[in-house]
Structure 1
């Protein structure tokens, strides 16, 4: 009986954490701010465009943690994209300044309770894993003193003139049937091809590359790649969820490549809000899937040493 009460409390804690994260994202969207698109390169952003990373391990955060940490950087006017736990700061010879307020990020994984193992063994079934989500606190390296100089150093962005070739190499290495033409950009799941209008029709050349990354994010879901459900019809919740994944994935990919993310489908805002209000785990799942997509796309760029692999536990369970 006690084990059931502990399990119930853990479930309630998990639910409240999902609700807290989702409520914040909904509030941002209702205010007209898109959490995966931040004002990088303006006075509102004091930090360099980058994926947030752990200053001790050098590995980038992923999934919902990227949105949480990007939001904290902008809201608090922080100057860097590197983060540490309190103990990590001490282990590196530094310390968090007195009075500094940390940011709660989440650790997501799955585990199999012992009673479930016993039940499954008794009936000859496979034990069912239970997802768990718990929070821990990190501090920006700008909130710390005494750290080695290289701890807060962010990998340099590709120099001007190299970003576009990186995207074009990514496209070539994707193996996707990538067609240039027409007057609209889209991915056709049944025929497995991407079509994007010619670069000349875009107001800024970099917008063509942003669009290409968005459509390739959709293409990553094909059964021969990451195998997502792409059967949603236009206007459906399933379709809106896939658009959410592609939007966030493109933002993550852009940030890693040195391209300031933008919103491609702002007209889906109402649908995204409906999805989030209906399921308080949707944004966590979408962000987790988006990180998988970004990792996949960035992995197509050879010798991309500026794209270290993320810590697996940062990914939330689907």
Structure 2
């Protein structure tokens, strides 16, 4: 099986349904959080997130918790007869012939659920050379499995509860925590790499606070790609399509952030249509979606790591002290 091509074809089929359709499907699925493994609790990454989100909406699953067949069996549960799994990809680096394989040989564990990398390069990020293998594995949603312990579906691995905090507050904590240079008063939202600043229309020009936050987060993903931060560059590989490819990274990265905070009904305003360019890139390069999803995941993690903390209750002024100051 050509796993890269099979998954790329799935993503292309999603995009061909149109921008409004795939965005709505992804955001509806994202309202249940990022997909997680029901045994380990670890989140899935990259293109696997898109595949699992789409499957959840396609089949009406209420949960974003997934297991392999063997994992379900190890928990005393059973996948129902006739249920179909979702094909996902796991990347592992295998040593080339004659090379010291210690710690490099692929372990063949199809229950792993990292997406790793999307580039079939000869050298990994750690400097080790070898062949990057794209290995398939298959996942079932907990709704397809009988006999699972209740905490697996109801308590342990669902999306982080925000309690009394609204998704808008969550968005503002990320926007504020990144400390990006954001300037208002412009006709449309954009990120200027040369000036390293985000340009935004005034808040009252947006249709809703949710639309403002979603648009700002989209531009914030672009901001993470600056050479001072994640240093994303695609010109050598994608040529004239590099700008559109960066927009695909921002599209995916923003979807990951919005899903994390539950801001799922927002519209990114003033956003140009790059759908045809994305489709052209994906049809010409079977590894492109993995590259885009990997960079989007890195941007997502970069933003999440800078979330402003919750105000401490002890930081609030005491009511009696305020009265004494009057």
- Conservation of the 8 A alpha-carbon contact between 2:31 and 2:262: no
1:259 equivalent in alignment to 2:260: no
1:243 equivalent in alignment to 2:243: no
- Conservation of the 8 A alpha-carbon contact between 1:36 and 1:251: no
Q: Distance in 2 between matches of 1:50 and 1:262?
A: 18
Q: Name the CA shift for 1:26/1:59 in 2 (closer, same or farther; >3 Å).
A: same
Q: Name the CA shift for 1:302/1:150 in 2 (closer, same or farther; >3 Å).
A: farther
- What is the TM-score normalised by the length of structure 2? 0.78
Q: Name the CA shift for 1:40/1:273 in 2 (closer, same or farther; >3 Å).
A: closer
- Conservation of the 8 A alpha-carbon contact between 1:240 and 1:275: no
After superposition, give the CA deviation of every residue in 1:32-60 in whole Å (9 maximum; x if it has no partner). 25686234787xx7x94311111111121
- Which residue number in structure 1 is paired with residue 42 of structure 2? 59
CA-based RMSD of the aligned residues comes to 2.7
Alignment of 1:110-259 (within 5 A): 110-116=93-99, 128-153=129-154, 154-159=158-163, 161-229=165-233, 236-259=240-263
- Which residue number in structure 1 is paired with residue 81 of structure 2? 98
- Which residue number in structure 2 is paired with residue 5 of structure 1? none
1:301 equivalent in alignment to 2:302: no
**SS of residue paired to 2:274:** helix
5+ residue gaps, structure 2, are 102-122, 311-326
- What is the TM-score normalised by the length of structure 1? 0.79
- Which residue number in structure 1 is paired with residue 313 of structure 2? none
- Conservation of the 8 A alpha-carbon contact between 1:177 and 1:194: yes
Q: Distance in 2 between matches of 1:188 and 1:112?
A: 41
Q: Distance in 2 between matches of 1:103 and 1:284?
A: 17
- Which residue number in structure 1 is paired with residue 5 of structure 2? 19
257-266 or 33-42, which moves further after superposition?
33-42
Q: Distance in 1 between matches of 2:15 and 2:272?
A: 10
The one of 274, 279, 284 equivalent to 2:280 is 274
